[in-house]
A and B are shown apart, each in its own frame.
Chain A
Amino acid sequence: MSEQQNYEPRVVAFLCKWCSSAGSDLAGVSRIQYPPNATPITVPCTGAVSPMYILSAFNKGADGVLVSGCHIGDCHYIEGNFLARRKMQLIMQLLEFIGVEPNRFRMSWVSAAEGAKFAQVITDFVDDLKPLGPQEKLKKADRI
């Protein structure tokens, strides 16, 4: 049990440049503390996040993957987050199909004004990942 408690999930967080990355900046400026488990990768738009990125992260040993972008209707590129939402829905189904807990993948909408929400999203996700334990199903011993 103690191993479970010490387990720190490794998370890759794809943040859109316009909203969620700016929201994470605001969390920083406001000094709102959250767990350091998630490493951010800033992308132009959540619409640019290929499903392959998510699978690749799981392949490379991620315990959870977060995609966070602008609120629906607020996309800087008009409809990128709509496209992302559709793809991500499929990813959820695919993960379930291949036996990975779909909860290991999460999508959130965090605007540039929502620093506190960004911190909360990370905190909640890490909390929710802990009981699941390490992700082994898609992890490859020898990486591509």
Chain B
Amino acid sequence: MSKKRTGVFVCHCGTNIAATVDVAKVAKEMAGEDSVAFTQEYVYMCSEPGQESVVQAIKDNKLDSVVVTCCSPNLHEKTFRDNAKRAGINNFTCEIANIREQCSWVHKDKAKGTEKAIKISRSVVRRVSRNQPLESIAVNVTRRAMVIGGGIAGIQAALDIANAGVEVVLVEKQATIGGRMLQLSETFPTLDCSQCVLSPKMVEVKRHPNVKLLTYSEVQELAGSVGNFRVKILKKPTFVDPDKCKLCDECTVVCPVVVPNEYELNLSARRAIYIPYAQAIPASFTLDEEACLGLNPVVCGKCKDVCEADAINYDMRPETVTEDVGAIVVATGFDLYDQANMPEMGGGKVEDVLDGLQFERLCSASGATGGHILRPSDHKEPKNVVFIQCVGSRDPAKHCAYCSKICCMYTAKHAQLYKHHVPDGRAYVFYIDIRSGGKGYEEFVQRTMEDNDTLYLRGRVSRLYRHNGKVRVLGTDTLSGQNVEIDADMVVLALAMVPSKGTTEIAKVLKIGRDKDGFLAEAHPKLRPVESVTGGIYLAGAAQAPKDIPETVSQAGAAAAKVIALLSQATLSRPPLIAKVRPSHCTGCGMCVDACPFLAIRLENGKAIVNEALCEGCGSCSATCLRAAIDVKNVTQLQIFEMIEACLA
């Protein structure tokens, strides 16, 4: 192999690198490397003139490879590889040495920082000296998408993708789509009815010719990569044929099993056979297998007997469906923080202490009380209600460190709704700060305080417990410096939003990262907020972070746009950094075959063969090969040994 002519370009990044790393020294040291034919430093290598100078230097000095020592490869690897291509050399001979995030930003001592920057740069120069020119692999794209989660985020994403003429599979775990938004009564700041604005979209998604709706279904397995995913979905049996079900409700009348209704957040009960809401889509009853006496006509069978439409079928079985899609949107939503973690707030065991979603159901016309605010213990109208904000939020010592963002607004809304239902009632709100950024939001909160005569108390609640048939709330008003004691008829907790249980599960199945709080991690907090770290998987809604409905809808639209852009390409280029066998060294021992997580290696005539379509380039094979007969292209064992040497020189 003839010697490389590498150009090393050292970026100052203004003072971001230059303040703590002696960039001139880095450039000088690199000039002493065997393979380096040219070095240059510049204040902002990623600027237009910086990039131009790289292109020019490649041409003028007949360079065949490039090392840019700058920020993380996640930021500018693509920029400089594209530049290399523009200058007429192979883009895979360009590599980034990260001396900013991994060096200048984390070490203040300039001498030591420079020393480390030199080691990092030298290791990458040595690696590049053995880089091969490679061509991206073109792969066909499956022009179909999947949306996981049928709440407002998933519905909006599915509709936007479907309207662009792309077929969408919408997968929902529960018996109906609609998600959390379907449980809400009215929405801030306009107080329009949540179900009234949502249900037309639900109907549209159900009827859309490009949408395939899979409810009561869960994603179980994912294979493949961007452009070509294969998803296995478990379709749970509902035991009711939705096409035959006439919604006559006869079955629930005869069903002898009563269980708490999770769709009503356990404020009311349902039968083993039930429909979540009147607006449920698909509009059909569902038989809860766990609650049912046994799906056995000998034991019960009353619902089947009474069903004139003959829609009930006890012989339905779980079904596994496989769907091929090119892109996925994850919109699996949120849950509320578990009250059991908060004994000072009653731990979920004090009667008439509700969470925000339960209060929504009390206000909702389709809820357990038909839209009348009645307290659960005695079904009387509560005459004073205490709303407590930041329950579990903004509490890094014990609970969630983050702000749940929507609670200030929905608590203001709750207070207004309460006053509309019970005009002679008294509403108190305990708050830490009021965060009402958003169009019309601040005005809405002001209306709650002034027009709706709600008493806002700045302070935390320390304890609440039952006392003489009421809930005694002990708190402080930090503005007047006094302790406050209120005997409330009802208490509503604005619990922190946490990623839903399904979000935690789906992150494992899809292998997409989560942030420190468990929400799905975006690829970049500012510039790639709707993409996961994994190519082809996008994020929407509260599974990514706490957010309100308008933000969720915007994010869903953005994720849909990304999906449409991806799927509008005829082929995708896949990085060619995959495994390659040196047949002369391979003894056919088969260790790599066992090590490969993607079943991409097989033995043929006593030699390992890599299936290039399946190989993801993880390198597990090379780490097991005793004879260095298999390597990932451009991350070969020889290259790593040279890098190690450079790190310790």
Stretch binding the partner chain, chosen from B112-120, B167-175, B341-349: B112-120
Q: A residues within 8 A CB of B119?
A: 39
Are A45 and B515 within 8 A (Cβ)?
no
Are B105 and A39 within 8 A (Cβ)?
no
- A108 and B458 alpha carbons, distance in the complex (Å): 44
Are B533 and A48 within 8 A (Cβ)?
no
Q: B residues within 8 A CB of A74?
A: 508, 511, 513
Are A31 and B105 within 8 A (Cβ)?
yes
Q: A residues within 8 A CB of B2?
A: none
Whether B102 sits at the interface, judged by CB under 8 Å, is yes
**Can you name the residue of chain A whose Cβ is closest to the Cβ of B517?**
A113
What's the minimum C-beta distance from A11 to chain B, rounded to whole angstroms? 9
Within 8 A of B (CB), among A113-140: 113-114, 119
With A33-B107, A39-B116 already in contact, the answer to whether A18 and B533 are too (CB < 8 A) is yes
With A43-B635, A48-B632, A113-B513 already in contact, the answer to whether A32 and B106 are too (CB < 8 A) is yes
- A10 and B521 alpha carbons, distance in the complex (Å): 33
- A50 and B105 alpha carbons, distance in the complex (Å): 30
Whether B204 sits at the interface, judged by CB under 8 Å, is no
Stretch binding the partner chain, chosen from B26-34, B242-250, B463-471, B611-619: B611-619
Return the contact of B647 from the options A41, A52, A87, A111 (Cβ within 8 A): A41
With A45-B618, A48-B622, A60-B648 already in contact, the answer to whether A40 and B102 are too (CB < 8 A) is yes
- A25 and B623 alpha carbons, distance in the complex (Å): 25
Whether B562 sits at the interface, judged by CB under 8 Å, is no
Q: B35-79 CB contact bits vs A (8 Å, 1 = yes)? A: 000000000000000000000000000000000000011100000
Whether B101 sits at the interface, judged by CB under 8 Å, is yes
Are B644 and A36 within 8 A (Cβ)?
no
With A48-B619, A83-B623 already in contact, the answer to whether A36 and B109 are too (CB < 8 A) is yes
Are B620 and A29 within 8 A (Cβ)?
no
Are B619 and A113 within 8 A (Cβ)?
no
Q: B residues within 8 A CB of A143?
A: 645
**Can you name the residue of chain B whose Cβ is closest to the Cβ of A53?**
B640
**Can you name the residue of chain A whose Cβ is closest to the Cβ of B616?**
A77
Are B113 and A36 within 8 A (Cβ)?
yes
What's the minimum C-beta distance from B225 to chain A, rounded to whole angstroms? 10
Are A87 and B103 within 8 A (Cβ)?
no
Q: B634-645 CB contact bits vs A (8 Å, 1 = yes)? A: 010100110111
Place the interface of chain A in its size category: 35 or more
Are A29 and B640 within 8 A (Cβ)?
no
With A10-B648, A78-B597 already in contact, the answer to whether A45 and B619 are too (CB < 8 A) is yes
Are A40 and B120 within 8 A (Cβ)?
yes
Whether B123 sits at the interface, judged by CB under 8 Å, is yes
Within 8 A of B (CB), among A7-56: 10, 12, 18-19, 22, 24-25, 27-29, 31-36, 39-45, 47-53, 56
Q: B residues within 8 A CB of A39?
A: 116, 119-120, 123, 647-648
Q: A residues within 8 A CB of B112?
A: 36
**Can you name the residue of chain B whose Cβ is closest to the Cβ of A50?**
B623
Are A48 and B123 within 8 A (Cβ)?
no
- A138 and B521 alpha carbons, distance in the complex (Å): 41
Q: A71-113 CB contact bits vs B (8 Å, 1 = yes)? A: 0011111111001100100000000000000000000000111
Are A80 and B106 within 8 A (Cβ)?
no
Are B100 and A28 within 8 A (Cβ)?
yes
- A27 and B119 alpha carbons, distance in the complex (Å): 19
Most central of B513, B534, B617, B622 by chain A CB within 10 Å: B513
Within 8 A of A (CB), among B113-143: 113, 115-116, 119-120, 123
Place the interface of chain B in its size category: 35 or more
With A28-B101, A50-B637, A78-B597 already in contact, the answer to whether A41 and B644 are too (CB < 8 A) is yes
Q: A residues within 8 A CB of B106?
A: 27-28, 31-34, 36, 119
With A36-B103, A83-B595, A113-B516 already in contact, the answer to whether A45 and B533 are too (CB < 8 A) is no
Are A114 and B647 within 8 A (Cβ)?
no
Q: A residues within 8 A CB of B304?
A: none
Return the contact of B534 from the options A40, A76, A114 (Cβ within 8 A): A76
- A74 and B73 alpha carbons, distance in the complex (Å): 22
**Can you name the residue of chain B whose Cβ is closest to the Cβ of A82?**
B597
Are B622 and A50 within 8 A (Cβ)?
yes
Are A73 and B109 within 8 A (Cβ)?
no
**Can you name the residue of chain A whose Cβ is closest to the Cβ of B507?**
A74
Q: A residues within 8 A CB of B101?
A: 24-25, 27-29
Are A28 and B644 within 8 A (Cβ)?
no
Q: A residues within 8 A CB of B595?
A: 47, 83
With A24-B101, A25-B101, A40-B102 already in contact, the answer to whether A80 and B618 are too (CB < 8 A) is yes
**Can you name the residue of chain A whose Cβ is closest to the Cβ of B115?**
A36
Q: B528-549 CB contact bits vs A (8 Å, 1 = yes)? A: 0000011000000000000000
Q: A residues within 8 A CB of B521?
A: 112-113
- A111 and B515 alpha carbons, distance in the complex (Å): 8
Whether B577 sits at the interface, judged by CB under 8 Å, is yes
- A29 and B71 alpha carbons, distance in the complex (Å): 10
- A33 and B515 alpha carbons, distance in the complex (Å): 21
- A12 and B515 alpha carbons, distance in the complex (Å): 27
Are A48 and B641 within 8 A (Cβ)?
no
What's the minimum C-beta distance from B115 to chain A, rounded to whole angstroms? 7
Q: B residues within 8 A CB of A19?
A: 513
Within 8 A of A (CB), among B595-619: 595, 597-598, 616-619
Q: A residues within 8 A CB of B100?
A: 28
Most central of A34, A40, A48, A78 by chain B CB within 10 Å: A48
- A35 and B107 alpha carbons, distance in the complex (Å): 7
Return the contact of B637 from the options A27, A40, A52 (Cβ within 8 A): A52
List 19 A–B pairs whose Cβ atoms lie within 8 Å, in order of A's numbering.
Answer: A10-B648, A22-B74, A22-B533, A24-B102, A32-B106, A34-B107, A39-B120, A39-B647, A41-B644, A47-B618, A50-B640, A73-B508, A74-B513, A77-B598, A77-B620, A80-B618, A113-B513, A113-B515, A113-B521
Interface residues of A (CB under 8 A from B): 10, 12, 18-19, 22, 24-25, 27-29, 31-36, 39-45, 47-53, 56-57, 60-62, 73-80, 83-84, 87, 111-114, 119, 143
Interface residues of B (CB under 8 A from A): 72-74, 98, 100-103, 105-109, 112-113, 115-116, 119-120, 123, 508, 511, 513-516, 521, 533-534, 577, 595, 597-598, 616-620, 622-624, 632, 635, 637, 640-641, 643-645, 647-648
Q: 5 extra interchain contacts, Cβ-Cβ under 8 A, other than A48-B619, A53-B644, A74-B511?
A: A25-B74, A36-B115, A39-B647, A40-B98, A119-B106
Q: Which 3 A-B pairs have the closest CB atoms?
A: A48-B619, A28-B101, A77-B618
